[in-house]
Structure 1
Amino acid sequence: MVTTTLPRSGQHIAAASAASHLSDGAAAVAEIAAALGSRADLYTVFVSTGYDLEVVGTALKQHFGDRVIGCTSSGNIGPNGYDRTGICAAALAGGGLRARTITVGPLDDTATAVEEAGSALAGLRAELAEDGEGFAVLLTDGLSRNEDLLAANLMATLGDVPIVGGSAGDDLTFAYTAVYHDGKFLANTATVTLVRADAPFRLLRLQHHDPTDTILVATEVDADRRIIREFNGRPAAVAYAEAVGADLADIGPTTFSTHPLLLNAGGSSWIRSIATVNEDRSLSMFARVDTGDVLRLGHPVGMLQKLAERFDAVSAELGSISAVLTFDCILRRLEFEERGLADEVGAFLAKHRAIGFSTYGEQFNGMHMNQTLVAVAFG
């Protein structure tokens, strides 16, 4: 168990974080509850693979009531930095913080699910607008393949309320991911938590890949299944391999993480990461690509430098940082591990009081993306 704590403050959001590696889910939650107490305004909990989720869900309800949000993860971020195992949690209190959560689902009909949740979302938005500033935290099933539509539809419904969040993971087994709500872990479901605070906060997004001049146009896709069949009228995997200067047989996860594809939208670049090469030489993606999308090959630039610069800028804006609720793509951690930087990056995140998890994708306002860190920092 490792715990970091800040005192409660009326002017700022105070935070405490804790992690447990006990193998029994009920005992792990009890250990975290003993460290964090039961008086916080909002708890966030992220659960790595190997736990009985029914047991964990019951324990979370018992200790924290209805003030907890969370999901399964591909590893956690907390007082240990990057942590591939265990349960990690944070407690947020003070600063006029108020939070309300609703579920959205089933996600296999995302448009209808958001429409049916519309009145509840409107009610939460109206309540949020009464006093203070706010944002929405989106946690969603990471295997639904509908995060793109979900984020866009939620942004249309919430209007000017900013959205930040991540897709639940399961340590790259791609078997079962779920979000927590009211004592249960639910698949095919998302939770939307509207948060209001008098204390200052900032939303942030960063990536360490820049677009190159190499262009690949998606000329044939299966958008709903996130498959690109052709780039520039040629088999997608063949065209991609040539673009990165590699033989088709040699491209794989390392190539994909080093050279993702970037889509320009709204004046910004958004990463679209490759999952696998299929037998028919098509590419399966971690985010939606539509026919006609113009993608640029990416290359890594200043991994640690970009992270430090962004956090330093946010810290300067806020005066200091009490906590950073963080959603960080699993592909970033894998790339850091490949380059021997994971311990250094993890230590940096822990130093800056980051708490969160390694995701299967990230959401920022109306966009879903990959290989990105998105977060909300509290002053």
Structure 2
Amino acid sequence: MDTGPAAKEGVAGPVAVQAGRGAANPASILLDGLRGARPALVLVFGAKGDELAPLGDALKAGLPGDCIIAGCSSAGEIGPSGYASDSIVAIGFPTASFRASAHLLRDLGALPVSDWMAGLRRMHRAFAPDPGRALFGLLLVDGLAGQEDALVATLEASLPSVPVLGGSAGDGLDFRRTTLLARGHTLSDAAIFLLVETDLAISEVTFAHFSPTETRAVVTAAIPEKRRILELNAEPAADEYARLTGIARDRLTPTEFARRPLLLRTGRRHHVRAISEVTEDGGLSLMSAIDTGTVLTLGRAEDMTQGFLQALSALPRPPLMVLGFDCILRRLALERAGLAAVMSDLFTRFRVAGFNTYGEQHSGMHVNQTFVGLAFMDHGAPGDSHAA
């Protein structure tokens, strides 16, 4: 069993534990690390397909009856020792400091927005949050359904006062099928929304390691419902991207896409519109919404570790844990740069646990190649802070 620094019994902060997917009994290993926290909520990341339901059943049998268990498949995990693969990470949120409620958002392909909004508002009213405690939302969503933009807009409209963040479930680098777990069932074409209340201090942490260059391109043909660019600058999209980046057309891979992303400007900020693959017709398949007429800017990578260190060091106090949603394309870029071990050390230092995603949600937006996290801290004395 691999157990994080916050996993000591009696600590109010979240508890992160990890087991190998190939272990004889991963549920037993995870339960050994979770029981002491008496969790109100457990998030499980990394198990795939048919593994998720039996794992959820085993955890449910070994934890308090009112504990909510939710999770999803991933493109990689972040455990007590940093980046991991082929493992299962479970995060327990102790009843002593947390209260949670779960709501399923089904039929993503049909976009039943009115039904979603009605259900979310009922959930919020029934939850009866305590104004003296922090309230936040977590969203886990099928990363291949292509509806994150509509989902986050629906959440923003339904619960405007609730900060929401989350991640899109992954499937390694296969991009074939992602799976979610809720209420003992495995789901696809769905999302899980969790409303969580805590007496701990919380702080959102986001970091993207790109800046815009002077190189721009116009989407001159697209299939928005498939998140596919057919043409850039009136040329076949993959060919034009290769020309703009200087990468040979036959060398376009997820790793190269991660190094040179396309950016969309919104207000004063640029957000990544990540590319997942070249399509058979020479187009580019994206992981976020796109439309004809969109102006995109080629991005330039900046230091991926020092900027992250600065973002975490800016927290007012050392975190008990940081729940992290980290895009798989960031991890690929770190691995290519030989910096994955450095980032893993930072994750361990700041007690980050979570998973590698197909996209991230925060501040009412769906983004890519971004780290989105929520830090949990003791309230501390006024003026308390910590240095890097």
Same fold (TM over 0.5): yes
Task: Give the counterpart letter for 1:229 in structure 2.
Answer: L
* Shift, 1:267, TM fit: 2.8
Moved more, 247-256 or 211-220: 247-256
Contact between 1:99 and 1:193, CA under 8 Å: does it hold in 2? yes
Output the CA distance in 2 between the equivalents of 1:50 and 1:136.
25
Contact between 1:3 and 1:35, CA under 8 Å: does it hold in 2? yes
Task: Give the counterpart letter for 2:255 in structure 1.
Answer: T
Contact between 1:49 and 1:171, CA under 8 Å: does it hold in 2? no
Local SS of the residue matching 1:378? strand
Distance 1:300 1:243, change over 3 A: same
Structure 2 residue 326 is matched with structure 1 residue 328: yes
Output the CA distance in 1 between the equivalents of 2:155 and 2:28.
34
**TM-score, normalised via structure 1 length:** 0.92
Distance 1:34 1:7, change over 3 A: closer
Q: Which runs of 5+ in 2 are unaligned?
A: 378-388
Moved more, 132-141 or 117-126: 117-126
* Shift, 1:253, TM fit: 2.5
Task: Give the counterpart letter for 1:2 in structure 2.
Answer: D
* Shift, 1:95, TM fit: 6.5
Output the CA distance in 1 between the equivalents of 2:9 and 2:318.
14
Q: Give the alignment partner of residue 8 of structure 1, picking from 10, 20, 38.
A: 10
Task: Give the counterpart letter for 2:334 in structure 1.
Answer: F
Task: Give the counterpart letter for 2:360 in structure 1.
Answer: E
Match of 1:376 in 2: 374
Between the two proteins, what is the percent identity of the paired residues? 36
Match of 1:52 in 2: 51
* Shift, 1:16, TM fit: 1.9
Q: Which runs of 5+ in 1 are unaligned?
A: none
Structure 2 residue 170 is matched with structure 1 residue 169: yes
Distance 1:175 1:232, change over 3 A: closer
Deviations 1:179-209 (A, max 9, x none): 1111122111100001112221011211111
Output the CA distance in 2 between the equivalents of 1:218 and 1:20.
44
Match of 2:249 in 1: 248
Contact between 2:255 and 2:329, CA under 8 Å: does it hold in 1? no
Output the CA distance in 2 between the equivalents of 1:239 and 1:202.
41
* Shift, 1:129, TM fit: 4.6
Output the CA distance in 1 between the equivalents of 2:137 and 2:268.
23
Contact between 2:49 and 2:186, CA under 8 Å: does it hold in 1? no
Runs of 4+ aligned residues of structure 1 deviating over 6 Å after TM superposition are none
Deviations 1:13-69 (A, max 9, x none): 4222111115267x2112111122161222211124486333213213222344222
**TM-score, normalised via structure 2 length:** 0.90
Distance 1:120 1:250, change over 3 A: closer
Deviations 1:73-126 (A, max 9, x none): 12210112111012111122267421111100111112x1x4213233113333
Deviations 1:343-378 (A, max 9, x none): 111121022111101111111132111111101110
Moved more, 122-131 or 323-332: 122-131
Structure 2 residue 383 is matched with structure 1 residue 357: no
* Shift, 1:137, TM fit: 0.2
Distance 1:92 1:53, change over 3 A: closer
* Shift, 1:128, TM fit: 5.2
Question: RMSD between aligned alpha carbons?
Answer: 1.9
Deviations 1:316-337 (A, max 9, x none): x2x2200111100111111111
Local SS of the residue matching 2:86? coil
Local SS of the residue matching 1:303? coil
